[in-house]
Amino acid sequence: AQKITQTQPGMFVQEKEAVTLDCTYDTSDQSYGLFWYKQPSSGEMIFLIYQGSYDEQNATEGRYSLNFQKARKSANLVISASQLGDSAMYFCAMREGRRTGANNLFFGTGTRLTVIP
């Protein structure tokens, strides 16, 4: 079974509108972390936001927020007030466990977001 599932290969959003990118995960660990990264065409993986499994509040970072629904095992990324520069690939990723030094991330297949002027 896939550990991270992103069901939207591509998404379009009008500039200044909000968009939600879906992510579901599969793990039997009680402790895990969820990440979202943005990857422009240059290839660099840009860290956007992090949610720990024990965090009670949804994470927010500027225009990015993570809609964390633990019982449904979903961690959707919400981008508010979309900008043209938001056009890129977006990856959801998970790290299992709390082992020291562990940064083995499982990535989804990504969602290509296109912001329309």
Partner 1 sequence: ETGVTQSPTHLIKTRGQQVTLRCSSQSGHNTVSWYQQALGQGPQFIFQYYREEENGRGNFPPRFSGLQFPNYSSELNVNALELDDSALYLCASSPDTLSRGGNTIYFGEGSWLTVV
Query: Which residues of this protein are in contact with partner 1, per CB under 8 A?
Result: 4, 33, 35, 37, 42-47, 50, 52, 91, 93, 95, 98, 100-110
Strand ranges, E, within 1-117:
4-5, 10-14, 19-21, 24-25, 32-39, 46-52, 60-61, 64-69, 74-79, 88-96, 105-107, 111-116
Nearer to partner 1, 101 or 117 (CB): 101
- In angstroms, rounded to a whole number, what is the distance separating the alpha carbons of residues 111 and 117? 19
Q: Least CB distance from residue 109 to partner 1, whole Å?
A: 5
Nearer to partner 1, 56 or 117 (CB): 56
Q: Least CB distance from residue 45 to partner 1, whole Å?
A: 4
Nearer to partner 1, 44 or 117 (CB): 44
How would you write 52-67 as a 3-class SS string? ECCCCCCCEECCEEEE
Q: Least CB distance from residue 117 to partner 1, whole Å?
A: 26
Q: How far is CA 84 from CA 4, 74, 87, 117, in A?
A: 27, 26, 6, 7
Q: Least CB distance from residue 4 to partner 1, whole Å?
A: 8
Nearer to partner 1, 64 or 107 (CB): 107
